[in-house]
Structure 1
Amino acid sequence: MPRYHLIGAALLLSLAGAAQATSFVVTTDAVVRAGAASTDATSDVTSSFRDDKIVQAARDDAASFVGSEGAIRGASLESAFLHIRQQLPALQASDAQLARAILVL
């Protein structure tokens, strides 16, 4: 009987290892895709707004926005979003992507 317990334990451990590897791959893929999307927005915003006072003033609000996953939206950040979207109407970026781009400046 102890032999069956050892085989069962080995089987459970191997399945757990496979599940962890799969979740790691899925998480990594999601992070890479999100990074690529925000890189596009970041390159457009950073090249245009590096010295913009409205955008620079929103850095603290952008940090709060990113840190709270969008729950905290400061007035300076809202103003910067509006300003950026007026200056670059063709830019297709989410608020989260813009906030990350502002932090990169």
Structure 2
Amino acid sequence: MFPDHTVYIIGDSKTASNNPITQKFNTFFIGLVIDRNSHEILEAECSSTIALTSKFVRSIFTGKSMNEPEAIIEGIEKRYFGSSQKAIIVAFKNAHIKYNQIMNN
């Protein structure tokens, strides 16, 4: 389904103890499929309790470049107003660090 020049990266973070995601998964995860050649995010999914949340998060990330993390974070801040906003940002930053480590090897 995904070409050989793609990588799959998971970013994770904590959510508030009263967040349903924490009660279901204990942590927040975001999975990203990234094209190593163009640095484009081809697919994204997150741990969520509502399917619409995962679809909306996908729309924030898909088509964006891992080389422009500030723009992605800005998009989260401007568009996502669920209780997991900070968790999404932290999980993305975690995934971005992992992606840079992969690309620098």
Output the TM-score relative to the length of structure 1. Answer: 0.32
- Higher RCO, 1 or 2 (CA under 8 Å, sep at least 6)? 1
TM-score, normalised with respect to structure 2: 0.32
Higher percent of residues as helix: 1
Find the structure with the greater CA-based Rg: 1
